[in-house]
Structure 1
Amino acid sequence: MNLFYEDVETGANFRTGTHRITKDDIVDFCRLTRDHHPLHTDDGYAREAGFPGVIAHGLYGLSLMEGLKTELHLYDESSIASLGWDKVRFLKPLLAGDEVHVEMDFTAKRESKGRGVVTEAIRLMRGTETVIDAEHVSLIRKRG
């Protein structure tokens, strides 16, 4: 699927494939971002904070949402830019072993200088439980 502005239907929804979060994912995100807070590196510290063990960074979850959404190939030929993420809420901790997927709905669209701006409601899901809830705005091409 490759959507241009004209193809976007408000209310249309999509679901991605799944990804199982691993300890290596968390370690790699620590390394890439230089965020080695003990919540993400020390099981004992995380347990004292009330978690069952180390947790993934909320920003890892947000990044994973974009990656999983990209696997839908919605904008392979039409994407111009991400205009930003809004209303981001980290509702539940992400743990190694969690299997997650993304559910997304188009909530709005408008033309802008010969291009299209689309708004997506995006949720990172662990089964039926919402882990992260956010809104994303994308700038995409119109057809020819």
Structure 2
Amino acid sequence: MIEQTRGCFDDLVVGTTTRSPRRTVTEADVVGFAGMSGDFNALHTDEVAASATPFGTRIAHGLLGAAIASGLFTRTALSASLQESLIALLGVDCRFVNPLRIGDTVHVEAEITELRPTSDSSRGVVVVERRLVNHEGAVVQVITTPMLIHTTRPDQGDTPT
């Protein structure tokens, strides 16, 4: 199923998919993330040390990939459709499947995998699985994000017409 344009809980369908634009992971991304996070692990910052690892070179931080995937998801039609209904991000579950390399061009393929009503009928939980995919078609990360959203558009209310 392709992406849809309405984003309140009652309008969503499990299986809806979306795809983001691409971006390339750069040296500046890795260096900037190391500085911002304080994570100067040699696997990310020391080419000589990293060349002795199974990866053979430095790789990007896993959490950098998750941050890039988050940003790319916000550039999808599905994310845009959820903005008026979104209440809160409830969590982030990341699985690092393959290394994210400097120079990889990545995009996000996202799918609604679950819709859960809550005890408050004005809210529901939508679970979106975001797959960060590199230019070779390999899944690099799988990020699952449950989000609390309104069941109807906030501007619709319950006023009878």
1:41 to 45, 70, 74: 45
Is 2:106 the counterpart of 1:100? yes
CA distance in structure 1 between the aligned counterparts of 2:88 and 2:111, rounded to whole angstroms: 18
Pairwise CA RMSD = 1.4
Q: Which has the higher strand share?
A: 1
* SS state at 2:63 partner: helix
Is the CA contact (8 Å cut-off) linking 2:89 and 2:147 kept in structure 1?
yes
CA distance in structure 2 between the aligned counterparts of 1:136 and 1:38, rounded to whole angstroms: 29
User: What is the Cα deviation at residue 90 of structure 1?
Assistant: 0.6
Is 2:145 the counterpart of 1:141? no
1:116 to 124, 127, 147: 124
User: What is the Cα deviation at residue 33 of structure 1?
Assistant: 0.7
CA distance in structure 2 between the aligned counterparts of 1:79 and 1:29, rounded to whole angstroms: 27
2:8 to 4, 26, 39: 4
1:130 to 139, 152, 156: 139
2:36 to 25, 32, 38: 32
| Distance 1:57-1:110 versus aligned 2 partners, 3 A rule | same
* TM-score, normalised with respect to structure 1: 0.92
Aligned residues: 143
Where structure 1 has 5 or more consecutive residues not aligned to the other structure, the ranges are: none
Equivalent position amino acid for 1:118 in 2: V
User: What is the Cα deviation at residue 71 of structure 1?
Assistant: 1.2
Higher RCO (CA 8 Å, separation ≥ 6 residues): 1
Equivalent position amino acid for 1:100 in 2: V
Where structure 2 has 5 or more consecutive residues not aligned to the other structure, the ranges are: 157-161
**Rg larger in structure:** 2
The alignment-based identity, stated in percent, is 36
* TM-score, normalised with respect to structure 2: 0.83
